[in-house]
Structure 1
Amino acid sequence: MRQEFRLEQKLILTPQLLLNLKLLALPILDLETAIEQEILNNPCLEIEEVKAEEGEKEIGKKENDDEFSLEDLIPEENYGLPSKIVEDDLFDIANPAPVSAVDEILTKLRQKIEKKDYPIAEFLCNCLDENGFLEFPPEEIAQNLGVEEEKVEKILEIMKTIEPGGIGAANLKEALICQLRLKGFGEDSIEIRMLRECEELVKNKNYQKIAAKLKTNVFRIKEAFNNLANLEPRPLRRYGSQKPDFVVPDFKVYIEGENIYFELNEDNLPRLKINNYYKEILLNPKNYEKEQVEFVKNKFKSAVMFIRAIEQRKETLRKIMEYIIENQKDFFLVSREIIKPLSIKECGQKLGIHPSNISRAIAGKYLETPFGIFALRSFFSSGMGETSKSTIKAKIKNLIDNEDKNNPLTDDEICEKLKAMGINIKRRTVAKYRQELNIPKASERKNKW
């Protein structure tokens, strides 16, 4: 019998990691709320009213000859910031779910699972994209979390039963099948068979070929299409608060000549520190009751984790903003139509940050410039080919601004003009972007726009 030793990289599911992921995804207003709530819940935390004077003793330094420092109270388990190895094991989420939606789903999920499975459920909820889909297999999740695959599968299956069904599914087809099952459709139903066996035909609405393949009539296929139309293609859409009518930018950008500067908007964010009274208890535990010391120890650990998570969020956002400015100089200095579609993956490789954390960091974040407020995500790839969505929308707006007001451009004509510029998109995409710009269709613009 041989003994073998293997070195494996696994994601250690620590409270610090979960907190880092959660705070990183928070927009500035939600972060303010989270800080206020944490101050109320943790007596070890307090607001630092003035800047610390030079030479003031830092947290963790011994203030006397006691047998330990405050750092000794933090166990060897990774309560600190995630290491690069941990970061490399995280997942790439194209566009994370809104934090409020994640909280709602997590609350519902906790009602259906055992308390010991809460950390896994929280991690899974934080890995949902904006539609509610999970874009990587359960076995990969289990391997990285260091838990049994069956455990992850069990929690995912429960998540998929949360209304409207399909939250946590790998894709749209799986989500729709989950919803059909919840509505009582069997595996042999025409609806589920259409999705499983006729996916391309369903996309093209080819009733005749679907009916022939499934050995039924066109009337039944049309009935099945009506049933599919009543399903929710984006199962997370009903959760989370709607987008606010106003946004508070996370960054402010200043331009002086050819120089671009930025600062993090921290005007309303309090600076946190550990309460001196509780530090005294921990540094001189023999002077206090055992229960009191244990209570303060736990609160101290939570306070340190929270402060570290805020600093980690700040550092990650700073690096991303520097990367945006370095790679989008033409946008800031020349024209708002010139946006180079940046790759989240390449940004992550350059900064040494996993793409999943880049995605979380830019979701719901904005920057204020002398010429308007822009979403951080608009600087990353979301358009067609080498042209970003923001650039395409700017070109559509420019075409409409300069059109003949007596004979405005139709969406088809705009589509053709974009193709002449090397931008190949469909008419429905032009219509979608036009609507996002709050521009009416051609017939409504004639002599009015």
Structure 2
Amino acid sequence: MTAPALRIEHRQQQSLTPRLQQAVRLLQLSSLDFAQEVHAALDKNPFLETDEGDVPGAAPAVAVPDMASDIGEAPAPNEGWASTSSIDRRAGASGSDVSALDFLAADVGLREHLHRQLNVLPLTPRDQLLAATIVESLDDDGYLRTALPELAGLTGLSPSPCEMSTALKRVQSLDPDGVGARNVAECLLLQMPDIEDPEVRGLASRIVSQHLDRLAHHDVAGLAKALEASASDVAHACERIRHLDPRPGWRHGSADVQYLTPDVVVRRVRGTWRATLNPAIVPRVKLNQAYARLFQQHRDARHGELAASLQEARWTVRNVKQRFSTILKVTEAILKRQHHFLEYGPLAMKPLGLKEIADEVGLHESTVSRVTNNKYMSTPSGVFELKYFFSRAMVTASGSTCSATAIRGVIKEMIDGESPSQPLSDPEIARRLLRQGLTVARRTVTKYRQLLKVAPVERRRKHA
């Protein structure tokens, strides 16, 4: 049996300090989340204050100009734009305490919209309560997915099934049409009076009530055979059905739209594409030099907490500068390689990897990945996430390479130019790509079509 022994070994191991871990976490945050972090630091750190100066390298603090056209020169500051303060001044000139917020329209939710209609109907308190119970049980899309007997027990009035059915019909008679339905078929049937032609309305009602599955698959031939009607009449009825709203509740009080704020704005200036930081997303923060000097002059061992706050303030200011400097450098490197995309569209997108940009700006690939995550670029063609400009290279039959984005552009052009009566299937698109020297598997075509939000071939087919 061997005796225990002590041994000393030297090992090198990389580890992230808490400060570096925090920097990595902040780098991959969206600009909105990062601004919230900075504002939280402003609130609790006495050595930080708001900086009212201009942001170096940032675009002028004006609204983003029209990105639909090619931009030659940057517009003059404040040209053609009204600020909130000017609105406030005009409102104040009338002699009333009116702010710009008073001019904003208030959103009315679905339930409030329905309650307002019920309140003007000549109903007894009992009928009012039964109808209101149904309204409060509706989902956001306007459907009633709770059984009437279960709702009856919630009222505390012991209503009869007939009373609950009447209350439901009363709710279903309100605006918007189709509200209070218990399934898609009932929702569409409630909207049938919107179809003026009685013959089309009758045929559409039969389609919805008897053959909803065929309607979903655009099976016009099967519907015509099952209903003993002409294909043209069935196609017309189906087209009319598609103008109905399967989610009527979304017209009122839908979920708040999340708007994207671009981190950088790309413009063409004198024939050259240039990127500037969007000043709206850059936190205006700086070190309060007066407080810092006072602390340094009267510093002693009892002020350890203030010393930590000063160090934290300096790190915050440095992190803000470094973050946006890195974003701008990465964006400029992307523009250098993908400027043809801005001029000619997705078909001109080149293959691009993280390593190529990392080597250009002198960063690690993981850092570039974090920089491009949740960061957006505003261009004349739209707003794109920085990750959009990266794609793997695909080799063509000639030996050259193209990007997956370019292939998606080719697929979109094919679908846009297809015949409505004979749309292209995924295998046919793959065959056509092969004839152009692009070897793309059928399942890859399906994935790209889904990314383009294009329906399958059966749902795109239209009958004469």
TM-score by length of 1: 0.51
Contact 2:283-2:320 within 8 A present in 1 as well = no
Contact 2:353-2:392 within 8 A present in 1 as well = no
SS at match of 1:400: helix
Report the Cα distance in structure 1 between the residues aligned to 2:272 and 2:429, rounded to whole angstroms. Answer: 36
Cα distance change of structure 1 residues 373 and 50 upon mapping to structure 2, 3 Å threshold: closer
Q: Post-superposition shift, 1:382?
A: 4.0
Aligned equivalent of 2:41:
38
Contact 2:342-2:380 within 8 A present in 1 as well = no
Does structure 1 residue 308 correspond to structure 2 residue 318?
yes
Which of 244, 249, 257 is matched with 2:262 structurally? 249
Which of 25, 29, 48 is matched with 1:22 structurally? 25
Letter matched to residue 282 of structure 1: F
Letter matched to residue 297 of structure 2: N
SS at match of 1:327: helix
Report the Cα distance in structure 1 between the residues aligned to 2:323 and 2:345, rounded to whole angstroms. Answer: 30
Contact 1:344-1:381 within 8 A present in 2 as well = no
SS at match of 1:447: coil
Contact 1:378-1:389 within 8 A present in 2 as well = no
Aligned equivalent of 1:328:
338
Report the Cα distance in structure 1 between the residues aligned to 2:290 and 2:271, rounded to whole angstroms. Answer: 50
Contact 1:44-1:300 within 8 A present in 2 as well = yes
Aligned equivalent of 1:352:
362
Report the Cα distance in structure 1 between the residues aligned to 2:437 and 2:12, rounded to whole angstroms. Answer: 45
Does structure 1 residue 373 correspond to structure 2 residue 383?
yes
Aligned equivalent of 2:198:
none
Within a 5 Å distance, the mapping from 1:178-197 to structure 2 comes to none
Identity of counterpart residues, as a percentage?
32
Letter matched to residue 260 of structure 1: W
Aligned equivalent of 1:401:
416
Does structure 1 residue 264 correspond to structure 2 residue 277?
yes
SS at match of 1:337: helix
Q: Post-superposition shift, 1:372?
A: 0.9
Cα distance change of structure 1 residues 39 and 402 upon mapping to structure 2, 3 Å threshold: same
Q: Post-superposition shift, 1:316?
A: 1.5
Report the Cα distance in structure 2 between the residues aligned to 1:268 and 1:319, rounded to whole angstroms. Answer: 16
Report the Cα distance in structure 2 between the residues aligned to 1:308 and 1:356, rounded to whole angstroms. Answer: 21
Q: Post-superposition shift, 1:272?
A: 1.1
Which segments of 5 or more consecutive residues in structure 2 lack a partner in the other structure?
A: 1-7, 56-256, 396-400
After superposition, give the CA deviation of every residue in 1:229-278 in whole Å (9 maximum; x if it has no partner): xxxxxxxxxxxxxxx84322111111245311111112243321122453
Report the Cα distance in structure 1 between the residues aligned to 2:267 and 2:438, rounded to whole angstroms. Answer: 32
Letter matched to residue 352 of structure 1: G
Contact 1:251-1:263 within 8 A present in 2 as well = yes
TM-score by length of 2: 0.50
SS at match of 1:424: coil
Report the Cα distance in structure 2 between the residues aligned to 1:266 and 1:317, rounded to whole angstroms. Answer: 13
Report the Cα distance in structure 1 between the residues aligned to 2:41 and 2:430, rounded to whole angstroms. Answer: 51
Aligned equivalent of 2:79:
none
Aligned equivalent of 2:287:
274
SS at match of 1:381: coil
SS at match of 1:46: strand
Contact 2:287-2:317 within 8 A present in 1 as well = no
Report the Cα distance in structure 2 between the residues aligned to 1:402 and 1:51, rounded to whole angstroms. Answer: 49
Contact 1:382-1:389 within 8 A present in 2 as well = yes
After superposition, give the CA deviation of every residue in 1:321-370 in whole Å (9 maximum; x if it has no partner): 11111111211223332111112112212221111111111112211111
Give the number of the structure whose alpha-carbon radius of gyration is greater: 2
Report the Cα distance in structure 2 between the residues aligned to 1:398 and 1:246, rounded to whole angstroms. Answer: 28
Q: Post-superposition shift, 1:419?
A: 2.2
Letter matched to residue 353 of structure 1: L
Contact 1:400-1:409 within 8 A present in 2 as well = yes
CA RMSD of aligned residues (A): 2.9
Aligned equivalent of 1:389:
404
Letter matched to residue 26 of structure 1: L
Within a 5 Å distance, the mapping from 1:62-101 to structure 2 comes to none
Cα distance change of structure 1 residues 419 and 40 upon mapping to structure 2, 3 Å threshold: farther
Q: Post-superposition shift, 1:376?
A: 1.1
SS at match of 1:346: helix
Contact 2:352-2:393 within 8 A present in 1 as well = no
Q: Post-superposition shift, 1:47?
A: 0.9
Contact 1:20-1:313 within 8 A present in 2 as well = no
Cα distance change of structure 1 residues 383 and 26 upon mapping to structure 2, 3 Å threshold: farther
Report the Cα distance in structure 1 between the residues aligned to 2:343 and 2:295, rounded to whole angstroms. Answer: 53
Aligned equivalent of 1:217:
none
